[in-house]
Amino acid sequence: MKKIISAIVCIIMVCTVTCVYAETSIYWNGSDTVDFHSWTEPAQSSGARWHIEWGSRTNIASNRRAVVRVHCGYDAASATWVYSSKSTAYHDYNDGFGYGACDTELRGRLDNRDSAQAPLIVNGSFFN
């Protein structure tokens, strides 16, 4: 009986730790420097912070920057961030958008200073 209870507790702990952030795949290939394009499907925010883990096909560079922010519908759910490298830094949601308040999606575009370096290609995972 103790082994069964231990196994159940272990499974619950593993699920709790791995489910702290919901993972959504990201992909975009484009050269738009004005509009923010959706890089993910909408998914409910799961905490107060978000981050990106960039995939191997991402071609972000100091002269090919990605301008990124999280949206909840038409509203910006985070500040706008400019990536010139594959940073995995965590960022806060704006007040009222974290902890399951809405379905968030990652949106982005090529920095308008880098249009000659198009296209920007991004892939990886968005943890919201």
Mean model confidence pLDDT for the chain: 88
Amino acid identity, residue 62?
S
Q: How far is CA 81 from CA 17, 98, 100, 106, in A?
A: 27, 17, 22, 11
Q: What is the CA 5 to chain-centroid distance, rounded? A: 36
Give 14's Cβ-side CA count (13 Å radius): 6
C-beta of residue 27 within 8 angstroms of C-beta of residue 125: no
Predicted structure pTM score: 0.80
pLDDT for 45-95, tens place per residue?
999 999 999 999 999 999 999 999 999 999 999 999 999 999 999 999 999
